[in-house]
Chains A and B, each alone.
Chain A
C-alpha cells in the first residue's frame, strides 16, 4: 500500500537558517504530492502541491520538487522566520479518495 516517510523531528532552527524536511513515498501509481502545515491550535492547511515528475510546488518561500526517480518530495525554505514554527505533513493522493499522510515534523524557529 501507499506510505509516506518523513524526517523525524523535532527540528529547531535559528531565524534566517535554511530548512530542509525530507519526505519519501511509496505508491503503486503516479500520485499527487502535498505538503500541509498545521499551526498551533488549528487544522491542517495546504502549503504546496505537485502532480507530476519534476513539478515544483511553491508557496510563502517554501519549495518542493517532485522527484520520481528518488520517490522524494523534500520541503525547503531558504530563510525561516519565527512565524514558520508549525508541524509540517507530507502527503500523497493517488485518486479522488483518501490521502496518505506522513507522521509530521515539528519545526521550531528561535529568534
Chain B
C-alpha cells in the first residue's frame, strides 16, 4: 500500500502567485481531509470530503483558498493569490468509514513557503 501521496513535497513561491497542492488518498478510502500546520496555530482542519463531496469547509481561512475532489483518487487545494501568512505545512489525510476505529492516514505533507 503506497499510503497517502502528496505533491509537491516543498513549494516556494512569491506573494500573489497561485499555488496548487495535490493529494492522492489511499485507494478505497471514502473520506479525505486537508489540514494546515503552523507553529502558531497548530494543526487546523481546513476542509473534508466524503465520497468526493465537500462536507465541511468552515476551516478554510478565506476565499483565496479552494479545494476540489474531482474523483475518488485525487484532490487539490488551491491558494490564489498566495500571501506570506499562508506559509505552513499542508497535510492531506484519508480514512475509511464502516470500520471500528475511524483512524486517519496522513500524507507526508507539503511545506509551502510564500516569499
How many residues on the B side are at the interface (Cβ–Cβ under 8 A)? 25
Tell me which of B13-21, B63-71, B95-103 binds A.
B95-103
**Bound-complex Cα distance A32 to B50 (A):** 19
- The answer to whether B50 touches A97 (Cβ under 8 A) is yes
- The answer to whether A46 touches B42 (Cβ under 8 A) is no
- The answer to whether A98 touches B98 (Cβ under 8 A) is no
- The answer to whether B102 touches A95 (Cβ under 8 A) is yes
Q: Mark B18-50, 1 if CB is under 8 A from A, else 0.
A: 000000000000010100000000110100101
Q: Mark B81-115, 1 if CB is under 8 A from A, else 0.
A: 00000000001010101101111111111000000
Assess whether A49 is interfacial by the CB under 8 Å rule: yes
B106 → chain A closest CB, angstroms: 3
Residues of the B chain whose Cβ atoms lie less than 8 Å from the Cβ of A44: 43, 91, 93, 104, 106
Report which of B33, B42, B100, B105 forms a contact with A98, defined as CB distance below 8 A. B33
Say what secondary structure dominates the interface of chain B.
strand
Segment 22-76 of A: residues with Cβ below 8 Å from B = 32, 34, 36, 42-46, 49, 51
**Bound-complex Cα distance A44 to B43 (A):** 10
**Bound-complex Cα distance A43 to B42 (A):** 13
How many residues on the A side are at the interface (Cβ–Cβ under 8 A)? 20
- The answer to whether A49 touches B108 (Cβ under 8 A) is no
Residues of the B chain whose Cβ atoms lie less than 8 Å from the Cβ of A101: 43
Residues of the B chain whose Cβ atoms lie less than 8 Å from the Cβ of A97: 31, 48, 50, 55, 102
Known interface pairs A89-B43, A104-B42; A99-B106 also in contact (CB < 8 Å): no
A-B pairs with the 6 shortest C-beta distances?
A96-B97, A43-B106, A93-B102, A44-B106, A103-B42, A46-B103
